[in-house]
Structure 1
C-alpha cells in the first residue's frame, strides 16, 4: 500500500512531520524526522525482523548520534524476536557516534540499554548529546581521499588526539580509495572520538563487502589497502545497510607505537 493510501500516513504528534516506513502488513516503523525517535507498532513476526533491522540501520547510517526505538506499541510472535534490537546495537557499536537506546515497557529486550517509558529514554538521550562528529559527502574520485585526510587532521586537532592523525589519515585514505575503486558511488565519511579512541567510517552505496585475505603476493599490484587498515586499526569491519554498506575502523593510541 502506498503511503498516500494509508490514512494518517505522514501525520504527526504535536505537528511534527514523520515518515512511515512499511515493514510488513503487521508491523509499522515510524521515523520522526525531527528527532532521534523511531516508533515500532503492531506485531513483529519472523519475516518482519529483517525489515525492522534495515529500517533501524538505515536511520542510524543517515543520522549521526544515538537513536531511540520506542517499542511501546510493539508485540512479538516469539520472544526470541526481541534479539533483533541487540543485533542492531552490536552492528553499530563501532560506528562513529552511533548507538541504539530503547523504550521497552516489557523489560523483555536484552543487549541494549532500555527504559520503561519514552520520557525516560528521551531523558537519557538528552543526557548524552552528540558532542563531536565530523561528516563530509564525497564523490567517487581519487581527489576525495585528500579531503577525507583533511577531515581527519581537523578532527584529531580539535579533539586532542594528535597521535592518531597519521594512522587516521592512512586508514581513511584506504577506506575512501577502496570505495572509489570498487563501490564507485558517492560516499559519506564520518569520524568521531570516543574516550581516547577515534572511530572512522565510510558509507557507500554498493552492497559488495570488502574481503581481506591477508598479505598480497609481492608480484601483484594493489590489494594492500585492507592490510594497512588492519595494521593501524585495533578493529575494523563492514556492515551491510539498506542501499550499501558501512566500512568502519577504530584507532587506539596504545597501538601506535
Structure 2
C-alpha cells in the first residue's frame, strides 16, 4: 500500500514535470510557427504577385504580337505605296516629255495651218463662184481662230481640215439655193443650180431667163430657153422634189 502511494506520487511528479516541459517547448516553438505562418502568407502574396505579373506579361505579349502584325501590314503597304509613287513619277516624266514634244509639234503645225488656210482662200477665189459669201466667211473665221489663244492647236487643226472636207464635198453634190444675180445691169432674184463643180447655172423665178458660168472666161453667159425645162428639172431634183434623173445641160470642157 505504501509502495503504491509512493509510485503514484512519482507518476504525478513525472506528469507535472512533463507538462512543464511541453509548455516550455510550446513557448520555444511558437516563434517558429509564427515565422512559418508569415512565410506562408508572404509566399501566397508572392504567388499572387507572380500571377499578376504573368497576366501582365501575357497581355503585353499579345499586344506585341498585334503590333508586329500591324507593322508587317504597314511594311507591305509601304512597299506597294513606293511602287505607286515610282509609277507616278515615271508617268510625270513621260508627261513632261510628251508636253515637250507637243510644244515642238505646235511650233511646226501652226505655220502649216496658216499655209493651208491661205491655200484654201486662193482655191475659193479661183473656183466656181457659188455660195461666195458663206465660203468667204468660213475663211475669215479660220483666220480669226488662228489668233485665239483659248483654242487648242488640235481644235484649230480639226476645223481647218473640216473646211477642206466641206470644199471637197461640194465637188460631188447637187445643190439648189436662192440668191441675187445681176442681169443686164439689173439685180434679179434667181435660183442657182450647182452640179458638183461641173456646172453652175441660174434661172430667174419666172423661168424666163437662165445662164451658166463659163470657167474659161470666168464670166456668166446666157443660156437658150431650150434648157429651161432641164434646169427646172435639175432644181427640183436638188430640192428633193423628184427622184434623180438624167439631165441634158451644157458642160464646159477644159483641156
With the shorter chain as reference, the TM-score category is: under 0.3
Larger strand percent: 1
Larger helix percent: 2
Q: Which has the higher contact order (CA 8 A, sep 6+)?
A: 1
Could you say which structure has the larger radius of gyration? 2
TM-score between both structures, scaled by the size of structure 2 = 0.25
